Structure 1
Amino acid sequence: MDGLPPPQRRWAMTAVTIAIVMAVLDGALINLALPLMARDLGANPSLVVWVVSSYQLVITISLFPFSALGDRIGYSRVFIGGMLLFTAASLACALASSVSSLIGARVLQGLGASALMSVNIALVRYIYPKHALGRGIGYNTLIVALSASAGPSIAAAILAVAPWPWLFGINVPLGLAASAIGVLALPKTPLHNQGFDLSGSILSAVTIGILVIAADGLGYDSENRFPASVQAFVIVALLFWLYLDQRRKSTPAIPLDILRIPSVGLSALTATLSYVVQSLSYVGLPFLFHSIIGFSVLETGLLMSAWPLALALVSPVAGRLSDRSSAGILGTLGLALLCLGLILLILVPDRPSVADVFWRMGLCGLGFGLFQAPNSKAIIVGSPLHRTGAASALQSAARLLGQTLGAALVANMLKQPLETAGPRILLVALGFSIAGSIASFLRIVVKDEPA
Structure 2
Amino acid sequence: MSQIGKPPCDDGAIFHGDVSLPCSVSSRRWTLVAAVLGSGLAFIDGTVVNVALPSIQQDLGATTSDAQWVIESYALFLASLLLVGGVLGDRFGRRRIFMIGIALFALSSIGCSLSVGVGQLIAARAVQGIGAALLVPGSLALISATFPQSERGAAIGTWSAFSGITAAIGPVIGGFLVEHYSWIWAFLINVPIGIVLLLICMAKVPESRGSGGRSPIDAMGACLATIGLAGVVFALIEAPSRGWLAAPVWMAACIGIVALVLFVWVEGRSAAPMLPLSLFRERNFAGANLLTLLLYAALGGSLFFLPLNLIQVQGYGATFAGAALLPFIAIMFFLSRWAGTLVDVFGPRLPLVVGPIVAAFGFGLLAVPSVGSKYWTTFFPAICVLGFGMTVTIAPLTTTVMNALGPGLAGTASGINNAVSRAAGLLAIAIFGIVLTWAFNARLSHELASVSVPKELVSSVITQRQKLAGIVIPGGYPASATSTMRHAIDVSFVSGFRWVMLASAALALLSAISAWILIAERSGRSVDEHPGD
- TM superposition score normalised by structure 2: 0.67
Equivalent pair of 2:331/2:384 in contact (CA under 8 Å)? yes
8 Å Cα contact 1:345-1:357 kept in structure 2: no
Name the CA distance, whole Å, in 2 between partners of 1:115 and 1:210.
23
Report the equivalent of 2:331: 310
Structure 2: stretches of 5+ with no match in the other structure: 1-18, 444-494
- CA deviations over 1:341-371 (Å, ceiling 9, x no partner): 5347758999999458745642431231233
Change in 2 beyond 3 A, CA 1:54/1:340: closer
Contact 1:91 1:169 in 2 (8 A): yes
Of residues 327, 331, 337, the one that matches 2:355 is: 337
Flag structure 1 segments of 5+ consecutive residues without an equivalent: none
Aligned mate of 1:185, from 175, 199, 205: 205
Q: Partner of 1:368 in structure 2?
A: 390
Rate the CA distance shift 1:77–1:300 in 2: closer, same or farther, 3 A: closer
1:77 aligns with 2:96: yes
In structure 2, the residue matched to 1:196 is 217
Q: CA RMSD in A?
A: 4.5
Distance 1:230 1:81, change over 3 A: closer
Partner of 1:395: 417
Alignment partners' CA distance in 1, 2:101 and 2:501? 42
**What is the aligned counterpart of 1:26 among 32, 42, 45?**
45
Higher mean C-alpha deviation, range 401-410 or range 10-19? 401-410
Amino acid corresponding to residue 424 of structure 1 in structure 2: L
Structure 1 position 444 matched with structure 2 position 494: no
Equivalent-residue separation in structure 2 for 1:340 and 1:39 (angstroms): 36
Change in Cα spacing, 1:91 to 1:295, as seen in structure 2 (3 Å) is closer
2:234 matched residue in structure 1 = 213
The answer to whether 1:90 aligns with 2:113 is: no
2:82 to 30, 39, 63: 63
Do the aligned partners of 1:12 and 1:185 also contact (CA within 8 Å) in 2?
Answer: yes
Whole-Å Cα distance in 2 between the matches of residues 274 and 228 of structure 1? Answer: 27
In structure 2, the CA distance between the partners of 1:113 and 1:350, relative to structure 1 (3 Å rule), is closer
SS at match of 1:442: coil
Q: Does the 8 A contact of 2:105 with 2:128 survive in 1?
A: yes
Structure 1 residues 23-422: aligned runs within 5 Å: 23-33=42-52, 44-46=61-63, 49=67, 50-96=69-115, 101-127=120-146, 129-130=148-149, 147=166, 150-183=169-202, 184-185=204-205, 188-192=208-212, 193-217=214-238, 222=243, 225=246, 234-283=255-304, 297=316, 304-318=325-339, 321=341, 329=347, 332-333=350-351, 335-340=353-358, 342-343=360-361, 346=364, 354=376, 358-359=380-381, 361-376=383-398, 379=401, 390-391=412-413, 393-414=415-436, 415-416=438-439, 418=495, 421=499
Offset at residue 249 of structure 1 (A) = 1.6
Return the alpha-carbon distance in structure 1 between the equivalents of residues 405 and 93 of structure 2.
17
What SS class does the counterpart of residue 444 from structure 1 fall into?
coil
State the Cα distance separating 1:435 from its structure 2 match: 3.2
AA partner of residue 272 (structure 2): T
Residue type of the partner of 1:45?
Answer: A
Residues 243 and 249 in structure 2, CA contact (< 8 A), matched pair in contact too: no
Contact 2:112–2:125, Cα closer than 8 Å, also in 1: yes
> Which structure has the greater CA radius of gyration?
2
> What displacement does 1:89 show?
2.7
2:4 aligned residue: none
Residue deviations 1:102-153, cap 9 Å, x none? Answer: 4443332221111112343444444555467577667656666665565543
* 1:77 maps to amino acid: R
Contact 2:84 2:222 in 1 (8 A): yes
Deviations 1:27-86 (A, max 9, x none): 33234545665777xx55249634444322222232232222123223333212211222
Q: Which sits farther off after the overlay, 274-283 or 140-149?
A: 140-149
Cα separation, partners in 2 of 1:139 and 1:258, compared to 1, 3 Å: farther
Query: Which amino acid is the alignment partner of residue 329 of structure 1?
Result: G
Q: State the TM-score, normalizing by the size of structure 1.
A: 0.77
Number of residue pairs aligned between Structure 1 and Structure 2: 444
Instruction: Measure the CA separation in 2 of the matches of 1:358 and 1:261.
Output: 39
**Structure 1, 251-260 or 383-392: larger mean CA deviation:** 383-392
Query: SS of the counterpart of 2:272?
Result: coil
Identity %: 22
1:287 positional shift: 9.3
Aligned-pair distance for 1:339? 0.9
How far 1:398 sits from its partner (Å)?
1.5
